[in-house]
Structure 1
Amino acid sequence: MYGLLNIVAGIGDSLEISSAGFQTINSIVTDFSTQVLYLTPLIELPEVVVKENSLMADLQEVKKGYRDKGVFYTGTPHYYYLFLKPMTFIYENFKSEVINARKFKKYAKREVDSYEISTRFNDDLIKSNVPIKDADLFNFKLKYQPSLSQINTWNDYDLINYIKQCYKDFEEKGKTTTH
């Protein structure tokens, strides 16, 4: 693409030349001679959308799969179904898809609990509060991982104190696991 411009300007004036898809050039007029300026094309990348595959989204997708198979109640159905809808009661208690859905529900609860614990009781927090070696970190986390109820009731100060106390115990008893 070419362009010729005739601009009335004085010595010392600054010019800004820009065009869509090209880098902008700033130039200062030093004399009244013809200047040739080249605009460099921009390298534009197409937009990339990055989405996180979250644990919760994955679990909801599997739940939806069970719902699509006709499994609506993944817990123990209420006994009033036995009298009002006996076929629903039988189906919701003994069908293999329902049994698998119940197993998945238990698995999903364990995974969500573990995820919630690991968001707070994590490597960075432990390393920033105690002088633990990377080689010992896995054993430490395995041996002293708090429960979900503890994590939910503790503030950050309580969690850090817990880590420090556990690290003292870890150092005194040795760094091997009892499992």
Structure 2
Amino acid sequence: MRLRLLIAFLALVVSFVANAAFNVAEADRVVFGETKFPVPVEPEKVGTYPALVKSGAGYFYDEVLEYRVWLHPERGAFRRNGGNDYFVAFAQYERALAFSQRSKGAEEPLVLIRQSRYVNEPIPGKFEVVNGERLTEWQVQWLVGSKRTPGAIERFLEEHKK
């Protein structure tokens, strides 16, 4: 029993240390005017999601959570977070894009999405449906036509049969 508690405690510490290396610097929860891409499902939660998530894949998304602009001190971004990379979270793509264009050391915005059912491609051309929550960062343009709707995964699999 003590060993289990020790292992659980160590896992918690390792997780905390890993996430501490990357950090949200600010959260902009403002949505104003028209927007080209979806607004987060819960704008009040922008900036509260874990920094370390999956990257790409899945073919479909269920919810937009936030837009992220990653900043790199080694590329000229303001030094904060102990000199480690960090990001600013936004509720609106246009505000994230404007920030990235005027900030030294900034990447173009990414979007943090939630997937609850998605398509995995473990090897090229082999597709499998996965049920279970996953948070991942996507390139923003991948949102176009990728919202999971009833039957979307089944149509995708039918179109990609070998």
TM over 0.5: no
TM-score, with structure 2 as normaliser: 0.30
Instruction: Identify the structure with bigger relative contact order (alpha carbons < 8 Å, sequence gap 6+).
Output: 2
TM-score, with structure 1 as normaliser: 0.28
- Structure with greater helix percent: 1
- Structure with greater strand percent: 2
Larger Rg, first or second structure (1 or 2): 1
